[in-house]
Structure 1
Amino acid sequence: MKKIYLAVLFIFTIAIQSCGIYSFSGTNIQSDVKTIQIDYFPNNAILVEPTLSQTFTQDLQDLFLKQTNLNLVKSGGDLQFEGEITGYKINPMTATADQTASQNRLTITVNVRFFNNKLEDDNFEKTFSHYYDYDADVILTGSSLDDAFSEIFERITQDIFNASVAKW
């Protein structure tokens, strides 16, 4: 009986201690990091879509506010993001028998500089990119453009999140 009691106590102790290092959001943020600064990402791509910069910056800010307990600040953040949109291009992907495009691909590329002012070894500059395929007879405006941005930005912002605070 005493051995069972000790085994249960040991397992319980291990379980409680291991919970202390687990994060439900998957982040690996130091306890002294309290603020995040996400600067406006200007569109420096050759093709300029007017809403691109604002939408991307807002989506990145929203992701960090939803998945962390960090406070968004305009300057002096413990974690800082800056960068620019460097690519916005549409390429034909598949052709039909009469040599016209049947499918196009919108690709957006973002250059990101990340600074961890509490742990400078985490700093990086990386390029993130994703695409959206659509039928050639679709014109990317209105809701179709919103759908494309939503899919592309969801992937890019999650990749940025993973590279910076989830350490994936």
Structure 2
Amino acid sequence: MKAGRYEVDGYVYSAAEEPKIMITGKWNKSLSCQPCDQEGDPLPGTELKEIWRVAPAPQGDKYQYTQFAHKINSFDTAPKKLLASDSRLRPDRYALEKGDMSKSGAEKSSLETLPELKELCRADVLHLSRGVMPPMCSTQNPRNLRLSYLCHSQWCTQLDNDINPTRSR
């Protein structure tokens, strides 16, 4: 069997590890099955039977997602208790789901900068724990922002809250 970009081919095996059912199709369209012999060739007199077909995307859907894809990616249908790492908690994903592209971009940029700032914060804590003033860089470039001794503790606390928010519903 040939394998193309979207093609899926495989077998269902018996306990004796012999092929019993051939499965073929395209993961983005449909899957079909057919009984097969020990070599994996279709049995004579049998036909392919469609066992799955992708649901049509809703009219006007920007990303061509099916209703199922929308449901599993939606924050609104998520379980009440989500892991902190669940991407549905990301504000950029939520804005994207609601169709607000500019807010989504701004939120994504903000989320990507926070871990970098937190790492700078950790470096400053290391300097301070050794009794050394942290190096200061220009505040004109936010990526090189260093924290002053006076606001260090408050800033790290704020970063912790921003990076690990406790989200209530």
- Higher RCO (CA-CA < 8 Å; seq separation 6+): 1
Q: Which protein is bigger by CA-based radius of gyration? A: 2
Q: Give the TM-score normalised by structure 2.
A: 0.24
Higher strand share: 1
Return the TM-score normalized by structure 1.
Answer: 0.24
